[in-house]
Amino acid sequence: QVQLQESGPGLVQPSQTLSLTCSVSGGSINRGSYFWTWIRQPAGKGLEWIGRIYTSGGTNYNPSLMSRVTISADTSKNQFSLKLTSVTAADTAMYFCARGYGGSSSEGVRLDYWGQGTLVTVSA
């Protein structure tokens, strides 16, 4: 059973960099056709797709965040990470990591395993 767990500071100062890590157990992040994904949810709002890193190392980012976001992977630790620079109060949210899996070409990519999320508050 694949499990994901987010970790990182719960409080970040405005203009600083938000850094989160997702630890994966029950499967290797560099095997299979998976997309290791970050999603966030501001309080009282819906889910926002931040971006993903492929098993091959390629990435896709949400254009609204592209200038500030980097997703990377550390296969030796079976983890992947999110960095978001120049944060403001608008970046306060619950942050989730998830595994994306694409089966056949007719099915598309779905997020089949998720972490429980970690709350990050941007405040001085």
Partner 1 sequence: DIQMTQSPSSLSASVGDRVTITCRASQTISSYLNWYHHKPGKAPKLLIYGASKLHSGVPSRFSGSGSGTDFTLTISGLQLEDFAIYYCQQSYSPPHTFGQGTKLEIK
**For residues 34-70, b (16+ Cβ closer than 10 Å) or e, as one string?**
bbbbbbbeeeeeeeebbbbbebeeebebeeebeeebb
Q: Is 67 in the site for partner 1 (CB under 8 A)?
A: no
Longest Cα separation, the chain? 47
Query: Smaller CB distance to partner 1: residue 30 or 64?
Result: 64
**24: which strand partners?**
4
Of 15-23, 25-33, 67-75, 98-106: span binding partner 1 (CB under 8 A): 98-106
Residue 103 CB: number of other CB atoms within 10 A? Answer: 11
Q: Is 114 in the site for partner 1 (CB under 8 A)?
A: yes
User: Which of 47, 77, 86, 89 is close enough to bind partner 1 by CB under 8 A?
Assistant: 47
Of 9-17, 22-30, 57-65, 67-75: span binding partner 1 (CB under 8 A): 57-65
Contact set with partner 1 (CB under 8 A): 45-49, 51-52, 60-64, 96, 98, 102-103, 106-112, 114-117
